[in-house]
């Protein structure tokens, strides 16, 4: 994959569109700062058409001189363009529905009307001194040949970027690659994939789009965003590194802290098993896994958690084996013998089923003491 790849993080736009999520100005600023600090070079910061309060935050983010490209989102209308031009954004993104369904149902329009909108609106932004990205909303349900006409019109008008939005998250990686490749051969401006996760395929589709010729990808921290969310920043960064050997320029050790910041600001809990940033994704209980890890961490390590500033953790539970128990006991200075070990393992299993958790150190010590052989029965 010879071309360059850039993340356009939209936590502050599509991420904040998550139902029930509303960042304060301070939270938006803090999120912009941690993203920039981690090396994200482009951020979709908000929607100027929402009004003065939103514009003020966008202005404040710009005042911080974070060294990132700022994009604002707007509909392809005169009013939204006027609001966007009043912002300090570098790129104004103009979205227009492109599926027949959305054009007709939302706007009472057709393809010809949509095509006619591109040139005058792009020109208006360019005349306002800003660069333009054209967004094809609901592109995954649109006629691919029509998408190419929109793409060509955007390029002709002077847009620097085209965004392909799988608005409803209905594509798979093969379909994504096919349509992105078709667009790639139609135009040579920047091409952004905007994938949603309704079928759990946003990251896969983002990687497929990169492979097929996309230059940019929308991401959000923790995969925040409309409904099931967008492609998670942390997944795209780590998957590009480990699957394609491509450095997205984002400091991976910063990802857990960014995730936590967005979790706090959004009020959306990150699932324990959320890839990359979930609390439990480097925690192991199963006996065979712990035994393998104790012998060589590479046995059950797809990538080193140290890349995220994290470490493996092992816990005892229903699925523990004797090596794990011996290791956990050694850590608290206890040494069960051959006869005690099976009883202790059985007690640990019962404990896990009764409490639905792992024993902590003092509980393990108690289980150890309870299962010690009674001297009266020793030969
Ligand atoms: C797929 C996406 O994520 S698109 C991004 C969507 N993001 C948001 O909606 C979040 C922020 N939105 C808002 O604050 C408000 O919805 C605003 C300020 C943008 C607009 O508010 P309102 O003017 O009150 O309109 P409302 O949201 O109720 O309806 C949307 C209007 O935009 C029109 N519209 C929707 N998309 C487009 C478009 N791309 N181009 C032109 N018009 C559009 C709709 O047809 C409707 O117009 P109508 O009033 O003539 O029927
Ligand atoms: O910017 C666009 O064109 C699309 C907006 C969006 O968030 C989506 O379609 O999911």
Q: Where do the domains of the chain lie, and which CATH numbers do they carry? A: 6-266 (3.20.20.70), 283-377 (no CATH)
Cut 0.90: pTM above it: yes
Average pLDDT over residues 202-221: 98
Ligand 1, atom 38: closest residue by C-alpha = 75
Digit-coded pLDDT (tens) for 214-270: 999 999 999 999 999 999 999 999 999 999 999 999 999 999 999 999 999 999 999
DSSP state of 194: E
Confidence band, pLDDT 50/70/90 cuts, at residue 373 = confident
Among candidate residues 165, 238, 24, the one with its CA nearest the CA of residue 32:
24
- The ligand whose atoms approach the alpha carbon of 93 most closely is 2
CA of 6 to the centre of ligand 1 (A): 28
Q: By the 8 A CB rule, do 236 and 246 touch?
A: no
Share of the chain above pLDDT 90, in %: 97
Look at residue 1 and tell me whether its pLDDT is greater than 80: no
Q: What is the Cα–Cα distance from 176 to 209, expressed in whole angstroms?
A: 6
Ligand nearest to the CA of 51: 1
Nearest CA to ligand 1 atom 39: 96
Q: What is the whole-number distance in angstroms between the Cα of residue 96 and the centre of ligand 1?
A: 11
CA angle 58-62-67, nearest 5°? 135
pLDDT digits (tens, 9 = 90+) for 16-71: 999 999 999 999 999 999 999 999 999 999 999 999 999 999 999 999 999 999 99
Give the model confidence (pLDDT) of 93-148 as tens digits. 999 999 999 999 999 999 999 999 999 999 999 999 999 999 999 999 999 999 99
177 Cα: distance to centroid of ligand 1 (angstroms): 29
Longest alpha-carbon distance in the chain: 95
Top mutation candidate among 106, 170, 226 for ligand 1, by most atoms within 8 Å of CB: 106
Distance of CA 159 from the midpoint of ligand 1 (Å)? 22
Question: What would the pLDDT profile of 136-179 be if each residue is shown by its tens digit?
Answer: 999 999 999 999 999 999 999 999 999 999 999 999 999 999 99
132: helix, strand or coil: strand
Residue 373, both tokens: 């052989």
**C-alpha–C-alpha distance, residues 115 and 110, integer Å:** 9
pLDDT digits (tens, 9 = 90+) for 306-328: 999 999 999 999 999 999 999 99
Ligand 1 atom 14 nearest Cα: 50
Q: Helices (H), strands (E): how many in the chain?
A: 14, 10
- Give CA–CA dist 326/316, Å, rounded: 11
- Going 29 to 31 to 37 to 41, the CA torsion angle's sign is negative
**ipTM score:** 0.97
pLDDT on residue 314: 97
Question: Please, which residues have CB within 8 angstroms of residue 312's CB and are 6 or more apart in sequence?
Answer: 282, 283, 284, 293, 297, 301, 305
Report whether pLDDT(376) > 70: no
CA-closest residue to ligand 2 atom 7: 14
Distance between CA atoms of 241 and 210, rounded to whole angstroms?
A: 13
Q: Indicate the pairing of strand 131-137 with strand 69-75.
A: unpaired
Q: State the average pLDDT for the chain.
A: 97
Q: Is the confidence at residue 7, as pLDDT, over 60?
A: yes
Q: Is there a contact between 158 and 132 (Cβ–Cβ < 8 Å)?
A: yes
> Which whole number is the average pLDDT over 317-344?
97
What six digits make up the tokens of 72? 């604002």
Pocket of ligand 2 (CB under 6 A): 14, 73, 93, 95, 135-137, 163, 165, 167, 194, 196
Lining ligand 1 with CB less than 6 A are: 14, 17, 47, 49-50, 75-77, 95-97, 106-107, 137, 167, 226
**Confidence (pLDDT) at 96:** 98
From 8, 13, 14, give the residue whose CB has the most ligand 2 atoms within 8 Å, as the site to mutate.
Answer: 14
Q: How high is the pLDDT of residue 374?
A: 74
Number of Cβ atoms within 10 Å of the Cβ of 148: 16
pLDDT band at 379 (very low <50, low <70, confident <90, very high): very low
CA 35 – ligand 1 centroid, Å: 27
Question: What is the total residue count of the chain?
Answer: 379
DSSP-assigned states of every residue in 227-268: TT-B-BHHHHHHHHHHHH----S--GGGHHHHHHHHHHHH--
């Amino acid at each position: 994959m010879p071309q360059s790849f850039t993340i356009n993080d939209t936590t502050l736009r599509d991420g904040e569109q998550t139902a029930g999520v509303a960042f304060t100005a301070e939270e938006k600023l803090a999120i912009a700062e941690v993203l920039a600090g981690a090396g994200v070079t482009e951020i979709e910061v908000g929607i100027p058409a929402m009004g003065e309060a939103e514009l003020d935050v966008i202005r404040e983010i710009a005042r911080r001189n974070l060294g990132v490209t700022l994009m604002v989102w707007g509909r392809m209308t005169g009013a939204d363009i006027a609001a966007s031009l009043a912002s300090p954004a570098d790129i104004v993104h103009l979205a227009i529905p492109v599926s027949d369904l959305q054009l007709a149902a939302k706007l009472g329009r057709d393809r010809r009307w949509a095509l006619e909108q591109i040139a005058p609106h792009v020109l208006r932004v360019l005349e306002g001194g800003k660069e333009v990205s054209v967004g094809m909303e609901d592109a995954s349900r649109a006629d691919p040949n029509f998408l190419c006409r929109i793409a060509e019109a955007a390029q002709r008008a002077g847009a620097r970027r085209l965004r392909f939005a799988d608005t409803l998250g209905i594509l798979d990686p093969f379909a994504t690659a096919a349509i992105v490749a078709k667009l790639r051969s139609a135009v040579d401006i920047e091409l952004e994939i905007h994938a949603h996760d309704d079928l759990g395929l946003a990251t896969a589709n983002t990687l497929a789009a990169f492979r097929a010729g996309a230059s940019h990808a929308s991401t959000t921290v923790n995969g925040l965003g409309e409904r099931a969310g967008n492609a998670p920043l942390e997944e795209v960064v780590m998957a590009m590194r480990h699957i394609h050997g491509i450095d997205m320029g984002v400091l991976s050790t910063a990802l857990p802290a960014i995730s936590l910041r967005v979790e706090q600001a959004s009020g959306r809990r990150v699932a324990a098993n959320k890839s990359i940033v979930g609390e439990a994704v480097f925690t192991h209980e199963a006996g065979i896994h712990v035994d393998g890890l104790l012998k060589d961490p590479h046995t059950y390590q797809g990538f080193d958690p140290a890349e995220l500033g994290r470490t493996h953790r092992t816990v005892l539970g229903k699925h523990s084996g004797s090596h794990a128990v011996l290791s956990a006991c050694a850590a608290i200075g206890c040494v069960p013998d051959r006869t005690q070990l099976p009883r202790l393992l059985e007690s640990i299993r019962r404990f896990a089923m009764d409490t639905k958790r792992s024993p902590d150190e003092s509980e393990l010590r108690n289980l150890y003491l309870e299962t010690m052989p009674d001297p009266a029965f020793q030969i």
